[in-house]
Structure 1
Amino acid sequence: MATTYVLIHGAGESGSCWRAVAAELKRYGDTAIAPDLPCDDDLAGLREYADAVVDAVESARVRGRVVVVAHSFGGFTAPQVAERLEAEELVLVSAMVPAPMEPPGDWWENTGFEDAVRRAARDDDGLTGNEDPFVCFYHDVPRPIAERALAATRQQSGAPVGRPWPLPRWPAVRTRYVLCTGDRFMPAEFARRMVAERLGVVPEELETGHMPMLSRPGELAALLRG
């Protein structure tokens, strides 16, 4: 039976960032849905983000196996969606892992993210956390693809930042984590610790930067399919 992959983008992105992965999944006979979150809407919080995804799936009249996939800040939306859709699996790709009722604005300090970035930047001469997006986020993405992706980004509203993550617990859905070993936004050492502490799982590793859907879409699609 074909699988429907629900692909959730990160902060300020759009569903178009998943286009190459969606094409790879369709080659296998699967279906991919990659909606735009209302991330530029100052009235939309995390519940509204989840509503947008669930509405897109329901409009597509999806039947059968559903796998929810999230990238980066999409980690705050995906567990809500996986629970509501009764997904078979949840896959987090270099994603933030929220704690119950944790506002996104508190995640950085609670996880020790900023200290981890400073340590990594000392070790790699300032590549990690670099202000240039082509250095931090798109360093291993072909330049024309990176430029198109950057041009498609939207302003990320701060509306969800101070609002608690809506779930009181992690959903009862099989959860996997894809760690990007060359990530200059979320250092690999930090991600391994966060995943162990918050999910209790061993991550699967992909040799890529923070944007594997752009740099290595074929390998990411194969990994998502398990």
Structure 2
Amino acid sequence: MAVTFVLLPGAGSDSWYWHRVVPILTGNGHSAITVDLPYSDESAGQYEFADVVVKALHDVEGPVVLVAQSMSAFTAAIVCERTDVDVDLLVLVAPMLPAPGESAGEWWANTGQSAAQRALAVSEGRDPAATNDLRELFFHDVPEELIEEAFQAEEVAMSDTPFETVWRAEEWPHVKTRVIAGSRDRLFPVDFMKRIVRERLGIAPDVIDAGHLIALARPRELAAALEGYVEGL
């Protein structure tokens, strides 16, 4: 079955993040739409981000699979609450999995992410204080040529507003949801992700052998997982 995949990037990223996955999906007969979110706009929070996604969805026909990387899980959850769109499946990739009534800024302490990240670094013999080393934290398993391309691109200035937006919900949206975690994710360690997904959704994530940037490091594996979910619609 052919579907439209609507792909949201993580915080401070853009459509480029998905550039290795899109050709695989479209080559297999699906449609793919990448949505850039206005991360640098101080007036835009998660609900304004959701408006951007909904606008991109309005002309889509047929089944829709909404795929959200990292912090855009907050945006995706809001989109799935909207009555003017129809999302058939929500897939969260290495997500900041939100809870109703929570903001992205509160998420870190609420989930215990910092302790989990530190414990993993110590267990692997890495410096737990080296949190600003983006290459070590995010790009450790990404091909070198892509790392250079990523660091040569203009940096997206990240506004504080989306981190301050509280998700005004009482429960998880009534949309079929799947979660993908990276087995070597240094930001959201896999055991941490398994716990959060179990506590908040009551399911287990599927795991891909990758770090946090799964679409860059393991595009074929990620595309295969996405297409596998479609078979169950």
- Band of TM-score, shorter chain: over 0.9
User: Which runs of 5 or more residues in structure 1 are unaligned?
Assistant: none
* CA distance in 1: counterparts of 2:60 and 2:117, whole angstroms: 40
Cα deviations across residues 56-95 of structure 1 (Å, max 9, x unaligned)? 222xx21010001011111111112233322111111100
Matched, 1:63 2:64: no
User: Which runs of 5 or more residues in structure 2 are unaligned?
Assistant: 229-233
SS at match of 1:160: helix
Report the TM-score when normalising by structure 1.
0.94
Report if aligned partners of 1:68, 1:81 keep a CA contact under 8 Å in 2. no
Match of 1:203 in 2: 205
Report if aligned partners of 1:82, 1:89 keep a CA contact under 8 Å in 2. no
Match of 1:136 in 2: 137
Match of 1:187 in 2: 189
Instruction: Give the partner amino acid of 2:79.
Output: V
* CA distance in 1: counterparts of 2:152 and 2:223, whole angstroms: 24
Out of 211, 221, 224, the residue aligned to residue 223 of structure 2 is 221
SS at match of 1:32: strand
Q: CA deviation at 1:221?
A: 0.5
Match of 2:22 in 1: 22
SS at match of 1:38: coil
Matched, 1:34 2:34: yes
Matches within 5 A, 1:14-163: 14-58=14-58, 61-84=59-82, 85-126=85-126, 130-152=131-153, 153-163=155-165
Count the aligned residue pairs.
224
- Closer/same/farther in 2, CA of residues 225 and 126 from structure 1, 3 Å limit: same
Q: CA deviation at 1:130?
A: 3.8
Report if aligned partners of 2:74, 2:96 keep a CA contact under 8 Å in 1. yes
* CA distance in 1: counterparts of 2:66 and 2:80, whole angstroms: 6
* CA distance in 2: counterparts of 1:25 and 1:95, whole angstroms: 21
Q: CA deviation at 1:170?
A: 0.8
SS at match of 2:207: strand
Instruction: Give the partner amino acid of 1:89.
Output: L
* CA distance in 1: counterparts of 2:151 and 2:4, whole angstroms: 27
* CA distance in 2: counterparts of 1:81 and 1:6, whole angstroms: 12
Report the TM-score when normalising by structure 2.
0.92
* CA distance in 1: counterparts of 2:4 and 2:127, whole angstroms: 36
Q: CA deviation at 1:127?
A: 5.9
SS at match of 2:20: helix
* CA distance in 2: counterparts of 1:127 and 1:4, whole angstroms: 42
SS at match of 2:68: strand
SS at match of 1:225: helix
Worse-superposed segment, 150-159 or 112-121: 150-159
| C-alpha RMSD of the superposition | 1.4
Report if aligned partners of 1:92, 1:177 keep a CA contact under 8 Å in 2. yes
Q: CA deviation at 1:107?
A: 0.6
Segments ≥4 residues shifted beyond 3 Å: 127-130, 150-153
